[in-house]
């Protein structure tokens, strides 16, 4: 199951409140408002020390060259989780010792965010402590409604993740309950559109249709739902894709009939995309002589980052680039809202698969064996 889009939604939701957020892949975002006057020089020094301690452990440099094994990634995530707890302890010390300091509220939210991160990374030792913190803040009248919605959403996510097989159903159920309690909040709608992005076939179409027609949903969510419907409707139909590639070559998928074509929606800043590249290159080197082609659709915004990467990695297939990131032409046209997205076209130019990750080589060989 894909979880990258769901995680991104909750991270964005957390950024909506004036509190620091923290993850294994991104340093915390501290409040941008003008710094309030500290209650004492001692408190100011303690706050600055706490801020400086927030930088999470960096991923090993060698991972940029070679994707980590599951064991290596698990070990790193455990290390990050332990680090998060250690900084949460410092945040607790700060708001306990300097309860009247203007930064005490930030430190309390920091402690909560870090413990949530630690638990998501598998640290079960913080469960009771986290539950008490969340209950206290949910019952605190000084905590904003928006912050309470975020806490509820994060708790729903954690509970749903306990069973991957029922994740989507439980997450959707929790989102709908949250929507009943907070009908004016955008976050439950963001959660529902995330679920729609994880589903396939009729369940995905049903939820996307519901969201696209819901006038109470945020406009962005309705537009994303419409894009999903367009993407779902694309299966079983030809894909029109014609452009001048980054290297100056002319690309027209309609002229590639007789070949199996992978359309790879990706970006150099996308960790899962980069991790998938060795598998893509392996399949291309083995099956290109038999009629396998790849067309890249880059979501990069910096041309030099893309050209430098493809030169270094010896990526030889053509790339579409317009520098617009998530707003790029084909991302918008095909309703792409998470990457990597890998579409496979058969020899007739018909879209057959929108999730070619994981068993790419096997899927391509099967399509190559078909008669045009």
Are 126 and 117 within 8 A, CB to CB?
Answer: no
Question: Can you give the pTM of this predicted structure?
Answer: 0.63
Give residue-wise pLDDT tens across range 240-274.
899 999 999 999 999 999 999 999 999 999 988 99
Residues 6+ apart with CB under 8 A from 45: none
Q: Can you give the pLDDT at residue 35? A: 56
Q: Which two tokens stand for residue 16?
A: 């909506």
Which strand (E) or helix (H) includes residue 296? strand 292-298
| Nearest Cα to Cα of residue 294 among 274, 273, 316 | 316
* Alpha carbon of residue 121 to chain centroid: 16
Tell me whether the omega of the peptide bond preceding residue 340 falls within 30 degrees of 0, making it cis: yes
Out of 31-45, 72-86, 197-211, 334-348, pick the least confident. 31-45
Give residue-wise pLDDT tens across range 139-149.
888 888 888 89
Q: Give domain 242-368's CATH superfamily.
A: Glutaredoxin (3.40.30.10)
Are 131 and 75 within 8 A, CB to CB?
Answer: no
Beta bridge partners of 344: 262, 353
């Amino acid at each position: 199951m894909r979880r990258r889009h769901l995680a991104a939604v909750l991270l964005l939701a957390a950024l909506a409140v004036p509190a620091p957020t923290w993850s294994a892949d991104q340093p915390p975002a501290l409040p941008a408002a003008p710094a309030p006057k500290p209650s004492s020089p001692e408190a100011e020094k303690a706050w600055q020390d706490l801020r400086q301690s927030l930088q999470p452990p960096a991923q090993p440099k060698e991972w940029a060259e070679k994707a980590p094994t599951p064991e290596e990634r698990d070990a790193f995530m455990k290390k990050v989780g332990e680090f998060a707890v250690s900084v949460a302890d410092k945040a607790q010390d700060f708001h306990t010792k300097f309860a009247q300091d203007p930064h005490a509220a930030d430190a309390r939210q920091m402690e909560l965010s870090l413990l949530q991160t630690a638990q998501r990374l598998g640290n079960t030792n913080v469960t009771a402590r986290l539950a008490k913190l969340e209950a206290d803040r949910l019952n605190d009248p000084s905590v904003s409604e928006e912050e309470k919605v975020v806490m509820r959403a994060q708790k729903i996510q954690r509970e749903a993740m306990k069973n991957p097989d029922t994740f989507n159903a439980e997450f959707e159920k929790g989102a709908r309950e949250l929507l009943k309690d907070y009908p004016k909040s955008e976050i439950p709608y963001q959660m529902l559109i995330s679920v729609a992005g994880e589903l396939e076939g009729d369940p995905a179409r049903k939820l996307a249709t519901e969201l696209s027609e819901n006038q109470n949903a945020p406009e962005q969510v309705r537009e994303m739902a419409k894009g999903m419907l367009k993407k779902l409707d694309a299966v079983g139909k030809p894909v029109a894709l014609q452009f001048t590639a980054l290297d100056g070559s002319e690309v027209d998928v309609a002229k590639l009939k007789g070949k199996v074509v992978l359309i790879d929606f990706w970006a150099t800043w996308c960790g899962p995309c980069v991790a998938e590249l060795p598998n893509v290159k392996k399949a291309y080197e083995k099956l290109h002589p038999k009629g396998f082609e790849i067309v890249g659709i880059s979501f990069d915004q910096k041309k030099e980052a893309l050209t430098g990467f493809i030169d270094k990695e010896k990526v030889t297939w053509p790339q579409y680039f317009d520098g617009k990131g998530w707003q790029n032409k084909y991302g918008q046209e095909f309703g792409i809202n998470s990457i990597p997205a890998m579409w496979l076209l058969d020899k007739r130019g018909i879209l057959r698969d929108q999730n070619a990750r994981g068993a790419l080589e096997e899927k391509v060989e099967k399509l190559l064996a078909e008669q045009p």
